[in-house]
């Protein structure tokens, strides 16, 4: 596991976009696993800028991690809307190459199976992840077990509370979501976990330097062969010694 610490989320986003460019330029049909929330926005801004500078994304396929249940793609807080606002409307990724779970599918179990088939047919070369304050990746919440396939999840109260800032009222926050399972995440060739802000420092330390355990889902990334953790100085705070250097485990 590599750890990279930047002075700002902006600088970190440029770095992650450069990693994505390497994948895009080196693969005939590159597949990017994408995340939502405020954390990856600097990455999307930098990737859009690279496209404006000449990076062709027409061969790219994208597979998003998750979606709220009950929000259709026209809802301004759906993850589909988020992706179109921050990335898809600004670049030349073909619409038919863009995949997100359908949060209003009439048969949610069938939708989970459909999404697993998409992931199986499009092995992910680079998976972008954020991390929840409770350690969730995607919406794989802390639990006694972590599910391997795409599944329906009941969101933990701390997740609902954290996401309430995007809604007018906490009562509007969906309580369920569809999420890619941990197996699909771990099968990606390369994983980049991004985290910014002091509120993420404790869970980053648990995930990076702690034991692998299901009640800290992000800790399972320690089992992957190629993970880069991209932080700002606030989120890296508990990984550093008094001189500002990385502590050993």
Clarify whether 97 is annotated catalytic: no
Find the catalytic residue in 66, 111, 116, 232: 66
Please say whether the beta carbons of 190 and 124 come within 8 A: no
Find the catalytic residue in 64, 102, 134, 163: 134
157 Cβ partners below 8 Å, 6+ apart?
Answer: none
Clarify whether 136 is annotated catalytic: yes
Find the catalytic residue in 67, 141, 151, 163: 141
Clarify whether 172 is annotated catalytic: no
Clarify whether 143 is annotated catalytic: no
Rounded to the nearest 5°, which phi and psi values hold at 42? -60, -35
Residue 133 sits at the vertex; the CA angle it makes with 116 and 7, to the nearest 5 degrees, is: 105
230 Cβ partners below 8 Å, 6+ apart?
Answer: 4, 6, 12, 15, 16, 192, 193, 194, 195
DSSP assignment string, 64-101: ESEEETT--TTSTTSHHHHHHHHTGGGS---GGGEE--
| Cα dihedral sign, 206-209-215-218 | positive
At CB < 8 A and 24+ separation, what contacts does 162-169 make? 162/132, 162/133, 166/77, 167/77
| Residue showing tokens 């590599």 | 2
Find the catalytic residue in 116, 136, 163, 232: 136
Residue 231, CB-side half-sphere exposure with 13 Å CA sphere:
27
What residues are annotated to the active site? Answer: 66, 134, 136, 141
């Amino acid at each position: 596991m590599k750890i990279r610490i930047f002075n700002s989320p902006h600088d970190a986003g440029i770095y992650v976009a450069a990693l994505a460019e390497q994948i895009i330029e080196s693969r005939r049909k590159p597949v990017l696993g994408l995340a939502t929330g405020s954390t990856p926005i600097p990455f999307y801004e930098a990737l859009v800028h690279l496209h404006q500078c000449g990076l062709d994304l027409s061969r790219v396929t994208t597979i998003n991690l998750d979606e709220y249940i009950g929000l259709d793609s026209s809802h301004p807080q759906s993850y589909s809307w988020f992706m179109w606002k921050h990335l898809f409307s600004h670049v030349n990724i073909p619409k038919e190459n863009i995949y997100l779970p359908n949060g209003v599918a009439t048969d949610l179990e069938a939708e989970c199976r459909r999404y697993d088939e998409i992931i199986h047919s499009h092995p992910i070369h680079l998976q972008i992840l954020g991390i929840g304050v409770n350690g969730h990746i995607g919406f794989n919440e802390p639990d006694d077990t972590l599910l391997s396939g795409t599944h329906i999840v009941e969101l933990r109260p701390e997740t609902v509370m954290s996401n309430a800032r995007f809604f007018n009222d906490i009562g509007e926050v969906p309580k369920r979501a569809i999420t890619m399972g941990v197996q699909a995440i771990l099968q990606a060739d390369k994983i980049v976990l991004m985290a910014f802000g002091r509120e993420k420092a404790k869970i980053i330390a648990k995930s990076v330097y702690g034991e692998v355990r299901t009640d800290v889902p992000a800790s399972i990334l320690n089992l992957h062969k190629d993970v880069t953790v991209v932080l700002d100085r606030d989120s890296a705070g508990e990984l550093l010694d008094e001189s500002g250097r990385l502590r050993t485990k």
